[in-house]
Amino acid sequence: MGNYTFKGKAAVSVAAIAALALSGCASVGGGDENGGGGDNGGGESGGVVTVAETNAFTAVNSGTPATNLDINGKIGNATREGFIYVNPAQEIQPNEGFGSYEQTSEDPLTVEYTLNDPQWSDGNAIDKADIMLWWATGSGFYDDEDAEAETGTTYFSIAGSTDILGHTDKPEFSEDGKSFTLTYDEPQADWEIAFDDLYLHPAHVVAEQAGMSEDELLSTLEDAPAGDPESPQERPELEEIGTAWGEAFAFSDMPEDESLLLSNGPYQIRDIVENNSVTLEKNENYAGDHEGNLDEITIRTIGDATAQIQALRNGEVDIMAPGNVNKDTIDQVTELDNVEVVDGGQLAYDHLDLNFGSDTFGDENTREAFLKTIPRQQIVDQLVKPVNEDASVLNSQLWVTSQEEYEKTTGENQAEELYGEPDIDAAKELLDGKTPTVRILYNNENPQRVDTFQLIKESAEQAGFKVEDLGDPNWSEKLADGDYDASLFGWVSPGVGTEALSQIFKTGGGGNYNEYSNEEVDKLVDEARSNLDKDSRDDQMVEIDRHTFEDGYGLPLFQSPGFFGVSDQIGGVSEYQPNQDGVFWNVWEWNRQ
């Protein structure tokens, strides 16, 4: 599988609050009044739980374009926390164990934050240096890159966008450093989720990796002026910090330097076996409100749902969270004794994107012709309806069918009129005798993606396209390279915020892998992200949705069904979390009965 998150966070929920996360799989109720998962089932502290997940862990830092995988974010959810998290009803919950925040002015928008003495698992306090690094990462304040002129530098390459914190100046700190204030230059719809803990990493460790002290890192960030793309400067200290932040925390087995494993969440990483498992243990220096109940959690990488079911049946795992969900999987899990099924519709959807930077799809007629061959109804009928008989073709790039805004956008975006049933004759007419080659990148270890690719290939070749199979287990690492004509994968939405608009639809967005660019869409994205009126903001988002279909951006396919299989010996896992955090959204509440 391998889902990417809308960053932000693959993205969430403590990780990826604002962005989308990549999803390699085809891959709701509310919490209690405190935003938690409800009754813990009377379990006791201590014990061990094993979870089966589809993807292999690749990085502690899941905030870069290359590492923004759902599994990295899920493990980050257990080892990172910030000012908020998101419950299954997609409601923002303040996390006062970490700190508090308050909007103190609307004009200009001003927010004051106060830390509640959080700390890293080595006992090092989360302080001014950590906040400055966190803010620097999410704001892009120091960047002076001009991509068109190929000059300057982007110091922190993030999976999401800088559109929220990018509208603030440097934080103003209290004398003791425990409070700080941000002032915005214009309203921001997502101000409450500005600090995404996807980007929070220990400043003292980053400093060491960059070859400097924490005080030197702080001084660099405090003293450096804003980046000026018209007059870029060589700033080697900033480059070292950015490189350390982006690269040092990317590893798929145990690092020699275990300071890279530091946590400020309820659990910390104790062991990593590459492509096999990650073991978490209770963070004994945790200083927040979400202290974990369990002594240990092991996340096993089991890519095949059948193998996950067998492991659950044999008691080798206590929880399974499959990426691909089909009728056979659900039937088998439902029949297991002493196992409960917690199900719902994921905030995830499969889609086919066309690469505007490729020779093939730089041509508008070729894009339209190819999209007219995509058998979306057949894909839904064969791959999704056996699981969810009410499933339908997804006709929005911005919302899934279970969201209330979906009906509004499909009434206006013309998705059905433009790309309903395949029209092979119309595609042939648009091609006018040409036989373009279309190279499709996807995860060929995901059976559902393999089946989807085959259905697309068979239909497109009827119109004259030559479809080349670029299926690759390492597909996510190749998305940013652009050496393909189309990509087939999934996004997992965080369920809150508008950062996905900038991330995947705005020119140069961190998840805009297909080089889509439309000046009107860029303008609408900026307007929506600064619009505090939801109804008006939704209208702007509908316009963005309409443009993507008119431009031949690609096609959404279907919303992914989802479920967790949970042993009845495990408490605290009773609500389906549809966003990218999945079963890990309230990991601190898990217990053995």
- Paired sense of beta strands 486-492 and 570-571, if any: unpaired
Q: What is the mean pLDDT of residues 454-464?
A: 98
114 within 8 A of 131, measured Cβ to Cβ? no
The residue among 113, 107, 144, 109 whose CA lies nearest residue 127 is 113
CA dihedral 322, 328, 331, 333 (to 10 degrees): -30
Strand spans (E) along 276-413: 277-282, 296-301, 319-321, 339-354
Cα separation, 370 vs 120, in Å, equals 51
Q: What is the pLDDT of residues 58-99, one digit of tens each?
A: 999 999 988 988 899 999 999 999 999 999 988 899 999 999
499 within 8 A of 6, measured Cβ to Cβ? yes
Residue 446 has pLDDT above 50, yes or no: yes
Residue 38: per-residue pLDDT: 38
Q: 180: which strand partners?
A: 113, 173
Alpha-helical runs (H) found in 383-529: 406-410, 415-419, 424-431, 447-462, 475-478, 499-500, 519-529
Q: What is the mean pLDDT of residues 19-34?
A: 42
Cα separation, 98 vs 264, in Å, equals 9
Residue 407 has pLDDT above 90, yes or no: yes
Residue bearing tokens 């889609």: 351
Architecture label for domain 347-561:
Roll (3.10)
Residue 53 has pLDDT above 70, yes or no: yes
Q: 437: which strand partners?
A: 466
Q: Which residues are within 8 A (CB) of 562 and not within 5 positions of it... i.e. 6 or more apart?
A: 27, 325, 343, 344, 345, 346, 348, 576, 578, 582
446 within 8 A of 1, measured Cβ to Cβ? yes
Of the given ranges (162-171, 235-244, 370-379, 490-499), which has the lowest mean pLDDT? Answer: 490-499
Spell 530-556 as b/e; 16+ CB within 10 A means b. Answer: bbeeeeebbbbbbbbbbbbbebbbbbb
Residue 23: per-residue pLDDT: 61
What are the extents of the domains in the chain?
A: 93-247, 347-561
Residue 580: per-residue pLDDT: 82
Residue 108: is the preceding peptide bond cis (ω within 30°)?
Answer: yes
Residue 264 has pLDDT above 50, yes or no: yes
Q: Does 93-247 carry CATH code 3.90.76.10?
A: yes
CA dihedral 401, 407, 412, 414 (to 10 degrees): 40
Cα separation, 456 vs 519, in Å, equals 30
Residue 493 has pLDDT above 80, yes or no: no
Q: What is the pLDDT of residues 323-358, one digit of tens each?
A: 767 788 888 999 999 999 998 888 889 999 999 999
Residue 551 has pLDDT above 90, yes or no: yes
Please give the structure tokens belonging to residue 327.
Answer: 């009728």
Residue 18 has pLDDT above 60, yes or no: no
